[in-house]
Amino acid sequence: MKFNVTKEKLLEGLQQVQNVVSTRTTLPILSNVLLQAKGNNVHLTTTDLDVGVRGSFEANVEKDGATTLPARRLFTIIRELPSSEVQFEVDGKNAASIRSGQSFFKILGLPEEEFPPLPKFDSAKVITIRQKDLRDGLRKTSYAISTDETRYVLNGLLFSLKDNKLTLVATDGRRLAMVDIELEFPRSHEVDIIVPTKAVTELQRLLTDDGDVKVSIGSGQIAFDLNNTLLVSKLIEGNYPNYRQVIPSEAKERVTLERETFLNSLRRVSLLASDKSNSIKLNFSKNNIDITANTPEVGEAKESLAVAYKGRDFSIAFNPEFFMAPLRALAEDEVFLDLIDEMSPGVLKIQTPFLYVLMPMRISS
């Protein structure tokens, strides 16, 4: 195998795939990236057996071939190369020679045959989504995915295909984020699947604002085809809890908040939220919210915000981090906060189908 390529293209190609690379050493092959040169392209593949990514870059291929090389090492070498021109040559024993300017590197790889192939999708359900929509949906929900390993079905994002809608749901038990994406697909494609966190994170990195993504759902696995890049992942097996039960049906008070202003206020006040209770209090009164936090023996913070509010006076406490996460992820100028009382969950909404349920914390006083 032999090819010439610019440093930038090679680096870009490696960046797409290298995050997946396994850190476990039981199977050394998994810390390698598979390089396959053919025609005018070099394909790159990495996998940790749960998630796999396949990308490519254009190159001037002089001799076809394939090999696998340690991904992290290769990446750090390429990043440091002095010149923009890179000559890449691999001999029959999987030893790669990399020449660039005055530098010469030789790194030893493993044969292509040892690399586990990405799974085939034979009887898959295929749907097409606009990349922008999916990226948007993932951004609005993925931060609420649970990291509690004991509830493994929650360690992923629910993709629920139903009634010509793709619903994305993430929850960790104290909050729940949900997005609906309008989508056309046949009834036979209706299904609920759970995509693991790692795949969601990788997918977010790969999605762009243009073009479509083709999603193939097979038994126990899913593939996202983004023109040049393919991401394959195992699905989490099990039943996702019935999340609709969590969503409050009615709201007593609605407040319209300027997202950015509110977020900034929260961030400032939360500096004095105690490590222990980690809560901030929202005190509602006519046309005003006082956001307060205090830590015994440290100090307190307070900020007032003028809002249109005509309901009764009351206070409710939330975990500031949980409140800020959706505000950071959203792009809208205005958000709506629906509340019932100080013991019931708050719901954050925007104009488009999005919903964030947040459990209040107990106010001890």
Partner 1 sequence: MDENYAQLWQKLSAALKPQVSPDTFKRWFSAVKLIQATDDSLTFRVPNNIYQFWIESNHITALQTAVITAFGAPRKIRFSSASDGLDETILPEIPGKQFSGDNSRDAGQSSNALGLNPRNSFESFVVGPNNEIAHAASLAVAQSPARTYNPLFIYGGVGLGKTHLMQAIGQYVGMKKKNAKVMYLSSELFINEFIDAIQHNNLVKFRKRYRQADLLLIDDIQFLGGKERSQEEFFHTFNTLFDGHKQIVLSSDRPPSEIANLEHRLVSRFEWGLTAELQPPDVETRLAILRKKAHTLGIKLRDETFEFLATRIRTNVRRLEGALMRVASFASLSGKQLTNEVVEHLLKDILQEEARHAVTIEQIQRRVAEHYDVRLADMTSKRRPANIAFPRQIAMYLARELTKASLNEIGDAFGGRDHGTVLHACKLVKRRMQEQDNIRQTISFIDSALQR
Does residue 9 sit in helix, strand or coil? helix
Query: What is the phi/psi pair of residue 245, to 5°?
Result: -60, -25
Going by C-alpha positions, the residue among 143, 137, 135, 138 that lies closest to residue 326 is 143
Using the rule CB under 8 A, is 102 a contact of partner 1? no
- The alpha carbon of residue 279 and the mean position of all alpha carbons in its chain are separated, in whole angstroms, by 26
State yes or no: residue 237 binds partner 1 (CB under 8 A). Answer: yes
Residue from 32, 94, 167, 221 touching partner 1 (CB under 8 A): that is 221
Binding mask 16-45 for partner 1 (x = CB under 8 A): -------xxxx-------------------
Q: Is 113 in the site for partner 1 (CB under 8 A)?
A: no
Chain centre distance of CA 119: 22
245 binds partner 1 (CB under 8 A): yes
The 270-309 site mask, x for binding partner 1 (CB under 8 A), equals ----------------------------------------
Choose the stretch contacting partner 1; rule: CB under 8 A; options: 65-73, 92-100, 259-267, 336-344.
Answer: 336-344
Is residue 341 part of the contact set for partner 1 (CB under 8 A)?
yes
- Looking at the Cβ atoms of 26 and 351, the one nearer to partner 1 is 26
Residue closer to partner 1, measured from CB, 86 or 217: 217
User: Closest distance between partner 1 and the C-beta of residue 365, in Å?
Assistant: 15
Instruction: Among 123, 188, 219, 365, indicate the residue that binds partner 1 (CB under 8 A).
Output: 219
242 binds partner 1 (CB under 8 A): yes
* Residue 318 beta carbon to partner 1: minimum distance, rounded to whole angstroms: 13
Among the listed ranges 186-194, 231-239, 261-269, 325-333, the one in contact with partner 1 (CB under 8 A) is 231-239
Q: Give the 3-state secondary structure of residue 300.
A: strand
Chosen residue from 111, 220, 299, 311 binding partner 1 by CB under 8 A? 220
For residues 61 and 37, the answer to whether their CB atoms sit within 8 Å is: yes
Instruction: Provide the edge-to-edge strand list for the sheet that holds 95-100.
Output: 60-63, 2-6, 85-90, 95-100, 103-108
51-58/41-47 β-pairing: antiparallel
Q: How far apart are CA 356 and CA 166, in angstroms?
A: 17
Q: Does 112 bind partner 1 (CB under 8 A)?
A: no
Pick the binder of partner 1 from 243, 268, 314, 336 (CB under 8 A).
Answer: 243
- Residue 173 contacts partner 1 per CB under 8 A: yes
The one among 40, 128, 362, 363 contacting partner 1 by CB under 8 A: 362
Tell me if 353 contacts partner 1 by CB under 8 A. Answer: no
Q: Binding-site residue total for partner 1 (CB under 8 A)?
A: 42
Q: Does 132 bind partner 1 (CB under 8 A)?
A: no
Distances (CA, A) of 315 to 135, 276, 306, 311, 312: 35, 20, 16, 12, 10
Select from 47, 167, 229, 292 the one that contacts partner 1 (CB under 8 A).
Answer: 47
Query: Exactly one of 152, 165, 228, 315 binds partner 1 (CB under 8 A); which one?
Result: 152
Crossing angle of the two packed helices 320-329 and 131-141, in degrees rounded to 10: 170
Strand partners for 76: none
Distance from C-alpha of 129 to C-alpha of 224, rounded to nearest angstrom: 10
Q: How far is CA 302 from CA 10, 164, 269, 305, 365, in A?
A: 51, 46, 6, 10, 18
Q: Which residues, numbered 185-204, are part of the site for partner 1 (CB under 8 A)?
A: none
Distance CA 197, CA 145 (A): 7
3-state class (DSSP) for residue 338: strand
173: left (phi over 0), alpha (psi -120 to 50) or beta: left
Q: What does the binding site for partner 1 look like in residue numbers (CB under 8 A)? A: 23-26, 47, 49-50, 52, 116-119, 149-152, 155, 172-174, 218-221, 234, 237-239, 241-243, 245-246, 248-250, 340-341, 343-344, 359, 362
